[in-house]
A and B are shown apart, each in its own frame.
Chain A
Amino acid sequence: MDMGDTRLPTELLMGRLIQAEERVAALTQMLNSHEEMYRNLFNNLGDEVHQWRLIRDDRGAIVTWELVDANPSALKSWNKTKEEVIGKLTNEIFGYDATAQFMPTIRKIFEMHESVTWVEYFEPTHQYLSMKTIPMGEYFISTGRDITSDILAERRLKESEQKFKSLFKNSSVAKILVDTHGNYLDVNDSACELLGYSFEELMMMSISQIINAPLQSEDTYFQRRNEASEIEIKRKDGEIRMVEVFTKEIDSNQYLSTLIDVTEKRKNERERILAEEKLRNITNSVPGAIYQFKFHADGSYSMPYISERAVDLLGFDYEKMMDVNFLFSRIHPEDMERIMHSIFEANIENTLWSQEFKTLNSAGAIVWIKGYSYSIRDFDGGIVHNGVFLDVTEKKQAEEALRVSQQEYQNITENLPGIVLRHRLTAEGRNELLFVSKGVEDMYGVPAEEVMADNQLIWKRIPQEDFAIFMALIQESAKKLSPWKFEHRVQLTDQTEKWVLMKGIPFEQYDGSIIWDTIGIDITPQKKAEQELEQLNKNLEDLVQERAMKAIKLAKELELYWLAAENAKSGVWRLDMRTNKLEWDDIMYQLYGIDRKDFSGAFDAWGKNLHPEDKDRAINDFNEAISKRTIFDSLFRIINPNTHQISHIRAKGKVELDEEGNVIAVYGTNWDVTREMELADEREKALNTLKETQSQLIQSEKMASLGVLTAGVAHEINNPLNYIHGGYTAIKNLVEEQKEIERAELSECLEWIKIGTDRATQIVKSLNLFSRNTNSLIEECSIHALIDDSLLILQNKYKGRIDIIKKYSSAQPLVVGNSGRLSQALLNLLSNAIDAIANKGAISIETALSKKYIKISISDNGCGIAPEIIERVIDPFFTTKPPGKGTGLGLYITKAIMDEHNGRMQITSELNKGTLVVLELPNKNV
């Protein structure tokens, strides 16, 4: 270095210094403005900017990094304040291992000393970031731009493109993509199939080549875009197909068309139209209206179809007939409810609907409609009735006319005197009564309803021999199909007899049976007149004959008469009324015990001999015969004036008249009837004696049952008495022999006394029933109690050897009557049943209630009654028991008791098997 230079001007140095200082100031200013620019940029940049400082380990390897600064965009994106993050490690800031995620990049930039740009998804902020990191000594700066939305949009676009491609390719519907010139850009498999060309072939063609020109042009194809149109296309094989086309512009110059083959559909439609036409023709050729009626699931209804012939039904035009509400309004109000109800019922049941109902036609007249329909459930939940309406007015009118005429027929038959009947003889020979008029009740005494139920009721009224004739006549009528006539008698229940004339006409039926329409009339009066006339004729003949015989006889008889009179000790007398002279023959004098010379011959002389007690009566009888011109017939006593003996005389006489009818004489006979009178007296006495004996026997039967009773009661009562007496004796012994009596011992003895008293009381109570001596029939009697009491009394007769099986009715049988007598009846029957069982056996007692009767059945398995005597068991004094053991009055009395209670008794028996007695008594409740 030149020393001389060092002394070079200071001024130069100063200048240089100033220059340097100025340059520094300018640079500082520049730096400051840069710094400010950077700051502004840093603070206002939309991208995130953050500066980090490396942290290294001992060996200088990068471990992690801490934040030095971050701009507002970064803070916003991280959702942190500056204070929260400055000086913090990256993992602390994000609560996430960001070190691991970014370490490879950081190492790379520091190895290469170059900045790196990349895109990465940052999980803590859910962002796709476009990142740039720049190394700066021990620092690095990262910037990041959020490109999340861009990435997602891109991805969606890609997906939708793929979707479209796939849809297009795989669609089962033909799809084609064409440009504005109609050239194919793409077609799918379905389109190839529809058009009959391969993909490659189509790629060489335009749309116009497949359209069946000149019907439709290419223009229509495009004009109609965004709306469906139908075109005809021509396949490669020349086949024409109907296609529905829907074209849409999906991009400029690109059109997507969807082609749907509707060839089959169109064909079906055409066929359906033809079929409908055919159906309409058929339905219109059928009388009546065919319809379809539909109930929808929502409750509404409609009539999709009714054939045109509907106009014939009611005289309304077709328009009106198609209105279902109008049709309902034409149903006659009387039938409306029934019809609606039946329709709803058919809906529920899904059955055949068939109804006849009245409707009103356009003129307001009644038209009978018969409707049939079958309902089926529709796929949409509705119910469809397919049916037909027929006009059945004529049939109905005919039915009504028939009904009226039948009613008239019945009215006539019911009001005719006599009966009208219709009966049938079946091919098998069975007689059936089909109809009989009410007159049958008058004629046969059986109501028509009962006869209809059982025709035997009238045939039974016809005597056997008449019925046989009837059967023969019927057979003949059936054979010749000729009318028959039959007179027969009818025996009515009241024993009167009627004559009935029946006339019938047979009709052979298709089934081989024969029906007779028959009338029957009561011809009893005619018949009676006929019979009387016949009798009269016969009588007249007999009379003539008789007279002749009489004349011959008379002479002989007169002779015999006197002879007989003498022998019979019959006296003859005659009183001449004009002379009052009484003539007697010899026998008369003998009868009266007087001499002829002592007799004055006057009428009064007769009276003198009569017994004073009989005189007035005898004379009265005589006078009465005269005044009434009748036979004198009297019975009186006379007194023999000499012996004062009394004789009984029977007197008979006849009046003799002149031509004018005046009585001129009375003549007759007297004979002695003393002997007969005495015999009659004796008979009466004997009868009285018999009656007395009988009543004594009845009494003795009562005594006998009383005997049964006392024997039983004695034993039954002696046992309880034994308890009482025993109890008493025991207590007495205790009292006498022991100073202190044990309570328990005393109480035991008292218990015996109590049981004894109770039992004795019960027995005495049941006995009261039998001893009651009243004739009243007004007590309410419990049959079960009466049976039980009777069994108690009879206990000693059966106990230990006979099982008593009681089958009592659940309801209490009550009878109004005399309990004493009913008990006697039951006692007799039970006693018989017990006696019928020699050793061991069983008696069953069953009671049952019906509305009117109480039934008591007593059965035993004892010796039974022989069939030849069963009729006689009820007879008084009939007994099978050894002499002295039975009076033979038990059942007789029992029957009498049943009779007085309006009851019934029936006995059935089998020898060695047993006997069943059934009693029926009127139920108290009736």
Chain B
Amino acid sequence: MDSKCKVLYIDDEKINLLVFMKVMEAKFDVLVALSGAEGLEILEKEPDVTHVISDMKMPEMSGLEFVHEASKTFPDKRFYLLSGFAIDDEIQEALDSKLIISYFTKPADYNKIEKVLVENN
């Protein structure tokens, strides 16, 4: 039996993390972080994380800033954004440059997320 692939989810709202874990833990091995900085620490410690999903609007470091930062050290990870905002120029650019694979909107469609993650596994 395949071991579940490891997903890191970052959001500054705790309930979002709880919800994500509850819904996704059946399919994935879910790790969570409350900020970009915490996310970077986890990536250091957990080399077998394959997918990284981040919220966009966060204090200190935005989701996109985090992805920019993390992709420098971990270029092989697959990054995604999950946000309540509509896509703007910046995000479009990130999508175009393949910095992020997909941009999910809140409220999250977990089936879709699951599907996309599996496709990009």
Contacts and interface: CB of A to CB of B under 8 A. Distances in A.
A binds B: yes
Interface of A: 711, 714-719, 721-727, 729-730, 733, 737, 748-749, 752, 755-756, 796, 799-801
B57 interface: yes
Given A733-B26, A796-B57, A799-B57, A725 B15 contact: no
A729 B23 contact: yes
Contacts of B19: 722-723, 726-727, 729-730, 752
Contacts of A752: 15, 18-19
B23 A715 contact: no
Interface stretch (B38-46, B69-77, B103-111): B103-111
A714 B84 contact: yes
Given A725-B107, A729-B23, A737-B26, A714 B85 contact: yes
A239 B58 CA distance: 122
Contacts of A719: 13, 16, 84, 106
Tell me which of B18, B19, B26 has the highest count of chain A C-beta atoms within 10 A of its own C-beta: B19
A726 B84 contact: no
B106 A730 contact: no
Nearest to A795: B57
A846 to B, nearest CB: 25
Contacts of B47: none
Contact of B84 (A717, A724, A749, A801): A717
A550 B7 CA distance: 104
B70 to A, nearest CB: 19
Of the four ranges (under 10, 10 to 19, 20 to 34, 35 or more), the interface on chain B belongs to: 20 to 34
B115 to A, nearest CB: 14
B86 interface: yes
Given A726-B23, A800-B59, A800-B60, A715 B84 contact: yes
Tell me which of B20, B22, B57, B108 has the highest count of chain A C-beta atoms within 10 A of its own C-beta: B22
A717 B59 CA distance: 18
Contact of A722 (B26, B57, B86, B106): B106
B58 A800 contact: yes
B59 A799 contact: yes
B55 to A, nearest CB: 9
Given A723-B19, A725-B108, A727-B19, A718 B84 contact: yes
Nearest to B18: A752
B57 A715 contact: yes
Contacts of B23: 726, 729-730, 733
Contact of B110 (A711, A714, A726, A749): A726
Contacts of B107: 718, 721-722, 724-726
Nearest to A733: B23
**Shortest Cβ-Cβ A-B pairs, 10 listed:** A800-B59, A718-B84, A726-B19, A725-B107, A718-B106, A721-B107, A715-B84, A722-B106, A722-B107, A730-B22
Interface in B83-116: 83-86, 105-108, 110
Contacts of A726: 15-16, 19-20, 22-23, 107-108, 110
Given A719-B13, A719-B106, A729-B23, 9 more contacts: A711-B85, A715-B85, A716-B84, A719-B16, A721-B107, A722-B16, A722-B107, A800-B59, A800-B60
A721 B59 contact: no
A714 B107 CA distance: 11
* B interface majority secondary structure: loop
Contacts of A722: 16, 19, 84, 106-108
A799 B55 CA distance: 14
Interface of B: 13, 15-16, 18-20, 22-23, 26, 57-60, 83-86, 105-108, 110
B85 A729 contact: no
12 contacts: A718-B84, A719-B106, A722-B16, A722-B19, A725-B108, A726-B20, A726-B107, A726-B110, A748-B18, A755-B15, A800-B58, A800-B59
A245 B98 CA distance: 141
A491 B54 CA distance: 72
Contacts of B59: 799-801
B103 to A, nearest CB: 13
Contacts of B84: 714-719, 721-722
Contacts of B85: 711, 714-715, 718
A724 B16 CA distance: 10
Contacts of A737: 26
A752 B14 CA distance: 11
Tell me which of A721, A725, A796 has the highest count of chain B C-beta atoms within 10 A of its own C-beta: A725
B1 to A, nearest CB: 18
Contact of A714 (B16, B26, B60, B86): B86
Nearest to A726: B19
Contacts of A730: 19, 22-23
B78 to A, nearest CB: 21
Contacts of A799: 57, 59
A141 to B, nearest CB: 129
Contacts of B18: 748, 752
A875 B84 CA distance: 36
Contacts of B26: 733, 737
B71 to A, nearest CB: 22
Nearest to B16: A722
Nearest to A751: B15
Nearest to B62: A800
Contacts of A756: 15
Nearest to A732: B23
Nearest to A725: B107
Contacts of B58: 800
B34 to A, nearest CB: 12
B15 A718 contact: no
B7 to A, nearest CB: 15
A296 B23 CA distance: 101
Contacts of A733: 23, 26
Contacts of A801: 59
A596 to B, nearest CB: 77
